[in-house]
A and B are shown apart, each in its own frame.
Chain A
Amino acid sequence: MAADAGAPSATATAPRTPIAYYPGCSLHGTSREFDESLRAVLAALRIPIREIDDWSCCGASSGHTTDHLLGVALPARNLALAEAQGFASVLAPCAACYNRLTAARLAVAAEDDLAARMPDVLGRPFANTVAVESVVALLRDSATAIEEEVAAALTPNPLEGLRLAAYYGCLLVRPPEVAGADDPEAPLSMDEVIAACGADAVDWNMKVECCGGAFSVSRTNSVVRLGRAIIEDARRNGAEAIVVACPLCHSNLDLRQKAMMTRGEEPMPVLFITQVVGLALGLPAAPLGLDRHFVDTEPFIRRLVEQAAARVAAEERVKAEAAAKSAARREKTVAGDAPADDAPAAADTRASQDGDA
């Protein structure tokens, strides 16, 4: 627009309207660190969110596996609340909530009789106007902003070169028409967020396998068997930690990991994608809830921070050596009769040094 032409990057500075935030039960309970790290990261990226007032449980797998109507109505109440509270879209970071909210939105859009019944079942008007967004999609859309913030961070990026396995599980990719992932079999959206953080997303086989989901309590052995295969494959492919965006995947791989690792393997940290972004942005571990995991992340993070500091120190040293070398050369130039055009190389660091060697 002509009126905005003079304004410096209007999109970056204009205050965004808040997105509705649907935390879901897990983020208020067993996965508090997902909520904490999400809030910290979105604040750093200047993406405003506001919790839906008086939201209720989406019913997760127990709702739709036992009653189709209940499986639609429980999430739909929250979409109706968001609508009444004036929101255009809702962010549901929990993969299960995201899946149920989206499934309800699509079912009501596709089935006229279901849409007609909703106001009576919910006891409130429902026009089905609110879009549902996953945290992975939101972060991937913010990849450039993440890269900029990482580059601007005051501390060295602890994730630089770290090998991470992006684990999507079921609910972020299936059913494909509900999840809306970039690819249901070989998704890359979370890998792209990992890359924006300066880390390396490894290529591995179990990205979209099931971790056992809600059977954590009722069939723990199944969860241990499935989880072990996931962790072993990540390890075989060089991953130093697994990244998830689902509270169920997290608790199955983190809380149950002790039962999976029976041969003295190194523990494999399991991180929420928001914690990964937070670390790259230079946020400290505590506000990201990294002390709430069962697989102790403290030694892992300490190692990353130390490595990052050592890497930066080595770079500084190379820079200083190069500077000293060219200073010496300059002296020689002044003293002797070497060509004067050697001087600009003094500004260069590693490149010029490598060239000299």
Chain B
Amino acid sequence: MRLKPHDIMRLVAGGKGRAAAADESIWLCLTCETCSARCPNDCDPAGVIDSLRELGIDSGVSDAPRRIAAFHRAFLAQIESNGRLHEMGMVMDYKFRTGDLMKDVTNAPGMVSRGKLSLRPDRIRGVAEVKRIFEKCGEA
């Protein structure tokens, strides 16, 4: 993470929010919220970073690392189509988006034998309702 939370706040306060939104650093933030919880000036860098990510996507300047962007897209795609996250489906989707087909395959048998991976999605009755939420939020 090249830009630390205070660097990002500095950029935004100085009117360079677009540069911050275009930087990879905002995508390496884990949203652990430690910066906001401990800020001596009561600033909310975690909230600002959330907004910068949205700004970066909407304005097309986002430089999200391919894998992280792929993860978010694969995650949200699952919710949109099933209403719930189907972990197996998400991981497969992620692999196709990143081309990282062999990633974690050695863990898969252990996950299945422990009953942690279901092969079929858990689809809810209100999928149309969830799709509508995505549409209303301009994410469809």
Q: Which residues of A contact B54 (CB under 8 A)?
A: 66-68
From the candidates B34, B85, B139, name the one contacting A210 in the complex (CB within 8 A): B34
Alpha-carbon distance between A77 and B132 when the two chains are bound, in angstroms: 11
What 0/1 pattern do residues 223 to 251 of A give for CB contact below 8 A with B? 00000000000000000000000000000
CB contact list, B5-43 vs A, under 8 A:
28, 30-34, 36-37
| Given A28-B122, A170-B33, A212-B30, A292:B116 Cβ within 8 A | yes
Of A29, A55, A70, A214, the most chain B CB neighbours within 10 A belong to A29
The count of chain B contact residues (Cβ–Cβ below 8 Å) is: 54
Q: Which residue of B lies closest to A212 (CB)?
A: B30
Provide the residues of chain B in CB contact with A56, threshold 8 Å. 79, 83-84, 124, 126, 129-130
| CA of A55 to CA of B84, assembled, Å | 8
26 contacts between A and B (CB under 8 A): A25-B87, A30-B116, A30-B117, A56-B84, A57-B85, A60-B75, A67-B139, A71-B50, A73-B136, A73-B137, A77-B126, A121-B133, A121-B136, A122-B129, A170-B33, A170-B34, A175-B33, A175-B36, A175-B46, A212-B30, A213-B30, A217-B91, A217-B94, A219-B28, A292-B114, A292-B115
Indicate whether A343 reaches chain B with its CB closer than 8 angstroms. no
Question: Does residue A184 face the partner (Cβ distance < 8 Å to B)?
Answer: yes
- Are A70 and B134 CB-contacts (below 8 A) given A29-B116, A54-B124, A218-B71? yes
Chain B residues numbered 52-111 whose CB sits less than 8 Å from any CB in chain A? 53-54, 57, 65, 67-68, 70-72, 75-76, 78-79, 83-87, 91, 94, 103-104, 107, 110-111
How far is it, in angstroms, between the C-alpha of A172 and the C-alpha of B115 when the chains are bound?
26
Cross-chain contact A30 with B79 (CB below 8 angstroms) = no
Which residues, 257 to 295 on A, are CB-close (under 8 Å) to B?
291-294
Docked Cα-Cα span, A220 to B98, in Å, equals 14
Q: Is the CB of A66 within 8 A of B130?
A: no
Contact across chains for B84 and A174 when beta carbons are under 8 A apart: no
Whether B125 pairs with A77 at a CB distance below 8 angstroms is no
Q: A294 → chain B, closest Cβ, in Å?
A: 6
Shortest C-beta distance, A166 to chain B (Å), equals 18
Is A18 an interface position by the 8 A CB rule? Answer: no
Q: What residue in chain A is nearest B135 (Cβ atoms)?
A: A121
Given known contacts A70-B139, A217-B71, A218-B70, A28 and B76 CB-to-CB distance under 8 angstroms: no
Closest chain A residue to B44 by CB distance?
A: A175
A25 touching B50, Cβ below 8 Å: no
Determine which residue in B124, B125, B137 has the highest number of CB atoms from chain A within 10 A of its CB, and name it: B137
Q: Contacts of B85 on A, CB cut-off 8 Å?
A: 25-26, 29, 57, 60
Chain A residues with Cβ under 8 A from B53's Cβ? 65-66
Tell me the smallest distance from the CB of B34 to a CB of chain A, in Å: 7
**B32 lies within 8 A of A176 (CB):** no
Q: How far is the CA of A327 from the CA of B126 in the complex (A)?
A: 74
Which residues of B sit under 8 angstroms from A220, Cβ to Cβ? 104
CB distance from A347 to the nearest CB of B (A): 51
A70 to chain B, nearest CB (A): 4
Q: Which of B70, B78, B83, B122 has its CB near the most chain A CB atoms (within 10 A)?
A: B83
- Supposing A28-B84, A57-B84, A66-B72 touch, asked if A176 and B122 sit within 8 A by C-beta, the answer is no
Do residues A30 and B137 form an inter-chain contact, with CB atoms below 8 A? no
Q: Could you mark each residue 55-99 of chain A with 1 if its beta carbon is under 8 Å from any beta carbon of chain B, else 0?
A: 111011111111111110110010000000000000000000000
CA–CA, A55 and B104, complex, Å: 29
Q: B30: shortest Cβ distance to chain A, in Å?
A: 5
**Which chain A positions have C-beta within 8 A of B75?**
60, 62
B124 touches A66 (CB 8 A): no
